Structure 1
Amino acid sequence: MLSKKEKALIKGIWEKLTPVAEYIGSQALNRMFVSYPGTKTYFSHLDISPGSAHLFTHGKKIVLAIAEGAKDISQLMVTLAPLQTIHAYQLRIDPTNFKLLSHCLLVTLAVYMGEDFTPVAHAAMDKYLSAFAAVLAEKYR
């Protein structure tokens, strides 16, 4: 799936983005809510207006989970096991939303990183986020 070079590239990108996790995560979530309004239903208990503390807090959690998974992509199933259970059995998130958020993250990364988000980085990140979404949706099967 991902080459050693791609894994290293992904790991490096997320290491650089960890300090701005709140920003990246909130921007991606906001983009998802605007582009796919139906996704808001899972956040009715939070203030998800642009710039809200809840949006920054949840966005940071998402980005940090993605960054944690990028540290050792070969162990993604192990790393995400607790999140699989929470999302499938407690939150009951429609797994399609993981793909929608992945797309919004790609756009957010392209905007934030600019020229550093090369076609190679884009392709590698798309593969990684697709794998991440697939692993999160694993408990639904």
Structure 2
Amino acid sequence: MLSADEKQLILHAWEKVHTHQEDFGAEALERMFTVYPQTKTYFHHFDLHHGSEQIRRHGKKVVVALENAVHHMDNLSAALCKLSDLHAYNLRVDPVNFKLLSHCFHVVLAGHLGEEYSPQVHVAYDKFLAAVSDVLAEKYR
């Protein structure tokens, strides 16, 4: 569970993410495909080269979904219900991939936020992204 202080840290850091949604999302996806190449299997129809429009568009979708979660931290299940259904029932994505992408998003945040990505912000985002991953995996149970 996120404390009030952690929620504020997430919201404050998100201000910088909000203005670079497509860039941060694409970078996180490209990193995931490089570090965890098995994740490419869900994107066999995508051009997976650096800077691909498909990756940029999907990266933006990912970050927009995270932004929705940021603004609904107190009710993630409701905020992410449709996305959870899509990934569980239609796309059949292995839920471990949510954690892999979360890890890559951490790296992107750390790289772009620099000193602003303090240990406290890191912990807050770790809890938040773990909660998002858990909610996205709820339909698999």
Q: Do Structure 1 and Structure 2 share a fold, with TM-score over 0.5? A: yes
Range that drifts further, 71-80 or 12-21: 12-21
Structure 1 residue 17: deviation in Å?
A: 0.9
Q: Which moved more, 1:2-11 or 1:87-96?
A: 2-11
The alpha carbon displacement at 1:12 in A equals: 2.3
2:29 aligned with 1:29, yes or no? yes
**Structure 1: unaligned runs, 5 residues or longer:** none
* Secondary structure at the counterpart of residue 20 of structure 2: helix
Contact 1:11 1:67 survives alignment (8 Å): no
Query: Where do 1:54-69 residues align within 5 Å?
Result: 54-69=54-69
Q: Which residue of 2 aligns with 1:80?
A: 80
Q: Percent identity?
A: 50
Moved over 3 A (4+): none
TM-score (structure 2 length as normaliser): 0.97
| TM-score when normalising by structure 1 | 0.97
1:20 is aligned to 20
Match of 1:48, SS? coil
* Residue of structure 2 equivalent to 1:106: 106
Match of 1:5 in 2: 5
Unaligned runs of 5+ in 2: none
Offset at 1:46?
Answer: 1.2
Per-residue CA deviation, residues 67-119 of structure 1 (Å, 9 max, x unaligned), is 11111201110000000100000000000000000000001110111111011
Letter in 1 for 2:57: T
The count of aligned residue pairs is 141
Offset of residue 135 of structure 1: 0.2
2:117 maps to 1:117: yes
- Give the Cα separation in 1 of the matches to 2:121 and 2:111: 13
